[in-house]
Amino acid sequence: MTTALGAPPIIIANAPDAATWRPDLETVPDAEAGLGAVGGIYTALLRAPAPVVVVAWDMPFITPGLVGALARGLDDADACIPESGGPRGMEPLCAAYGSACVDAIARALEEGDRRAVGFHRFIHVTILRVSAIRAVADPALAFFNVNTARDLEEAEALWQAHASSPLSDGRAPGKPR
């Protein structure tokens, strides 16, 4: 997925050792420290050529097909967020954002709203429905987060069970042709 949208991915991270995570990729710190996840989205939009597809580092099973579907969702919207079974019903840290989001994020931040979805009220957001996601990825696998050592063990077991990373043609591991 090194050039899923025509440009190599970049890593937005503030950790002192972030440049060692993937030395083959450019690593950029947040444009403004202390903003949390929305700061990463904002930095990606400022740094990369907009539009961008943002994927949280802790989601190891995102497929190129899902990245492409999110990007295509920007044809008629400022942001395209996938529907999920997560706590918010969507995954704002695996989403596509267009250039209109820069001013919307700045406005939300001026109002003190640092939520990853706080700027959505200022833009047109479309939701990529689970039915559409299933065509390009297994939603349960795609949105699996690795936040603990136990999650990492589970991710490794899932990886082994599916025998590989997500397939380059956009199918989720184990999905028939």
Residue 168 included in any domain: no
Helix axes 37-47, 100-110, angle to 10 degrees: 140
pLDDT the model gives residue 159:
84
Distance CA 94, CA 80 (A): 9
Q: How many structural domains are present in the chain?
A: 1
Run of H or E residues at 125: strand 125-128
156: confidence class by pLDDT, cuts 50, 70, 90: confident
67-72-75 Cα angle (round to 5): 150
pLDDT the model gives residue 85:
81
42: confidence class by pLDDT, cuts 50, 70, 90: very high
CATH of the domain at 109: 3.90.550.10
The residue range of the domain holding 83 is 10-161
Residue 4 included in any domain: no
Which range has highest mean pLDDT (11-20, 60-69, 98-107)?
A: 98-107
Q: Token digits for 19?
A: 């440049």
pTM recorded for the entire structure: 0.84
